[in-house]
Amino acid sequence: MGNGVFAVLGGRRTAVWYPGFAIYAAGVALFSGPGLDHWWGAWAAGGYALAAVAVTAGHRRLGILAALAGALVAPALWLITKEPVTPDAAVVARSGVLLLHHGTPYLPLSALAAGGWLAYCPYLPVMALFGLPGALGVPGGTRPWLIAATFLLLYLTFRVTLTAGDGRTRDTWTGRDQRTRAGALETAAFWLACPIMAFPLAEGITDPPVIALTCLSLALLARGARTVDGRAHGDLTHRDLKHGVRELGRDTVAAALVLGVACAMKYTAWPALAIIAVMVATRDGTRAAVRFAGTVLAVAAGLVVALAPAALRHPASILENTVAYPLGLTSAKSPAQSPLPGHLLATLGAGGHLAALVLLAAAGLATAASLVIRPPATPAAAARRIAIGLTALFALSPATRFGYFIYPIALFAWAWVQEARRSRNAADVTVSWPTAAEQVPELAEVPT
C-alpha cells in the first residue's frame, strides 16, 4: 500500500476525497461568476472526477496524476496564456523588477499615493524572488515558480514526516529503500492537487509556499523525539545518546532556518514563530526556545538586509506597504474584502474599523494567554494552535478573504497526518533526547 498518504489515511478509502473535491470545484465553476475562479472550477471538476474513478478502480497514482492535471496544470496553463495576470502575480512580478533594478520591492510613498491599491506590496522581500525570473526575461510569470517551490517544500515536508519516529537513526535513513521517497513524492503530489493548494497556485496566489515552509519547520521539529534502531532507552550506549542530542540540535536549527525564510516572505508566518517558540520551550527548555527564536529572527533579518538593502533607507515605505495597507489604514483599500466579521465591521465607518482592530488585538491577546495557560508540547499541537490563531486573525482582519483559510486547513491536515503517522509507530519504544541528556550529565556539553 506504500508509505505515503494512502498508507496513512487508509488505502482506497481516500477515494472519497476526490468526489468531494469535484463537488467543490463544480460549485466554484457554477457560482463564482465569469472571472478566473470559474475557469479553475471548470477544469478542476473534471480532473477530480477522473481521479475519483481511477482511485476507486485501484489506480491511486493515476488518480493523483489526473487530479494534478485537471486542478493545477491545465488551469494554470490556461490562465497564463489566455487570461490577464492576477493582481497577486502582478504585484510579485513588479516587486521582482523593483528588487532587481532598485534594491527594494517597494514603491516610494509618493508613488503609493498616486498608484491605487495595485501600487502596494504587502509582502516581505523574499517573496519578490518569485518575480525575479520574469524580471530577467524568463517567460511564464510567477506561477510556475510558486508551483515548483511549493511542490519541493511539500516533498521535503513529507520526506521528514514519513521517516520521523520509525526507529531509525539518520545514518540508516540515508540508505533507506526507495519506498519512503516514493511515499513522500506521492503525498506531496496529493497535497499539491488538493483544492487548498491547487486553486491558489493556479491563480498565482502567494500563500502556498509560506504554508509549506511552516509545515516543513514543524516536521523537522517533530523528528526530535525518535527511537534509535528500535532499542529501549536502557539499552542505548553513551555514543547513541550523544548522537541523538546532536541530531535533535540539527533538526531544531534546520527548523529555525526554514521558518526564518517564511518570516522573511510574509507576515502570516509570524504567529507561527511565537507559538512554535513556546512549544520548543515546553519540550526542550527555555534556552532552546531562545536559540530557536533568535535564529529565526536572525535569518529573517539577514535575508531582508541582503535582498533589499535599499528598502532599509526608507522604513516608512516598508511600514506603509506591509503594515498600514493590510490593516486598512491607507487611502487605497485592499481588494481582499470577503464578508467576514472584521471586514463587515470596517465597512461601518471609522468606529467600525477601530472596533475590528480592537477585536483583532483581543484575539491576539487571547492566543497569547492560551500559550501561558496551556502551552503546546508537540509540533502537532503547535500546528493546531497556529491554525486557531490564524482563523481568528483572518476572521477579524479589516482586509480579509475566504482564501486565507487555506492556512488553518493545511495546518490541521498536517497535524492529523503527523499524529496518524505517530500512531502507526506507537509500538516502537521512543526516546526523548532531552530527558536522555539529563540522565547523562556530560551530554550537556555536547554542542547543539
Residue of 406, 420, 443, 416 whose CA lies nearest to 208: 406
Q: CA-CA distance, 76 to 89, in Å (whole number)? A: 12
Does 244 have pLDDT greater than 70?
no
Question: Across-strand partners of 231?
Answer: 228
DSSP-assigned letters across all residues of 352-371 = HHHHHHHHHHHHHHHHHHHH
Does 13 have pLDDT greater than 60?
no
In the 3-class helix/strand/coil scheme, how is 281-299 assigned residue by residue?
HHHHCHHHHHHHHHHHHHH
224 vs 321 pLDDT, higher one: 321
Mean pLDDT of 392-407: 91
Q: List, for residues 172-215, the tens digit of each pLDDT value.
A: 444 455 677 888 999 999 999 999 999 999 999 999 999 999 99
Contacts of 223 (CB under 8 A, 6+ apart): 160, 163, 164, 165, 251
Does 169 have pLDDT greater than 50?
no
pTM: 0.86
Span of 21-35, 237-251, 354-368 with lowest mean pLDDT: 237-251
Inter-CA distances, 339 with 155, 390, 400, Å: 35, 17, 8
Residue of 326, 222, 215, 314 whose CA lies nearest to 266: 326
Question: Domain extents for the chain?
Answer: 1-84, 145-166+199-445
Mean pLDDT of 90-96: 93
Grid cell digits, residue 190: 496529493
Average of per-residue pLDDT values in the chain? 83
Mean pLDDT of 252-271: 95
Residue of 265, 211, 215, 262 whose CA lies nearest to 92: 265
Contacts of 2 (CB under 8 A, 6+ apart): 179, 182, 183, 186
9 vs 219 pLDDT, higher one: 219
CA angle 303, 258, 277 (to 5 degrees): 105
Does 245 have pLDDT greater than 70?
no
Question: Across-strand partners of 337?
Answer: 400
Mean pLDDT of 253-261: 96
Q: List, for residues 107-123, the tens digit of each pLDDT value.
A: 988 888 777 888 899 99
Residue 118 confidence (pLDDT): 83
294 vs 242 pLDDT, higher one: 294
Inter-CA distances, 370 with 217, 278, 285, 360, 367, Å: 22, 11, 18, 15, 5
Residue 112 confidence (pLDDT): 86
What is the torsion angle, in degrees rounded to the nearest 10, for the CA atoms of residue 165, residue 169, residue 173 and residue 177?
-80
Residue 444 confidence (pLDDT): 43
Provide the H-helix boundaries in 162-269: 170-174, 178-193, 195-202, 207-222, 238-263
Residue 329 confidence (pLDDT): 85
Burial of 1 (0-12, 13-18, 19+ CB in 10 A): exposed
CA angle 397, 392, 345 (to 5 degrees): 40
CA 369 to chain centre: 24
Q: List, for residues 246-255, the tens digit of each pLDDT value.
A: 445 789 999 9
Does 155 have pLDDT greater than 50?
yes
Share of the chain above pLDDT 70, in %: 81
> Cβ distance 52 to 19 under 8 Å?
yes
Residue 73 confidence (pLDDT): 96
DSSP 69: I
Does 447 have pLDDT greater than 50?
no
Residue 425 confidence (pLDDT): 60
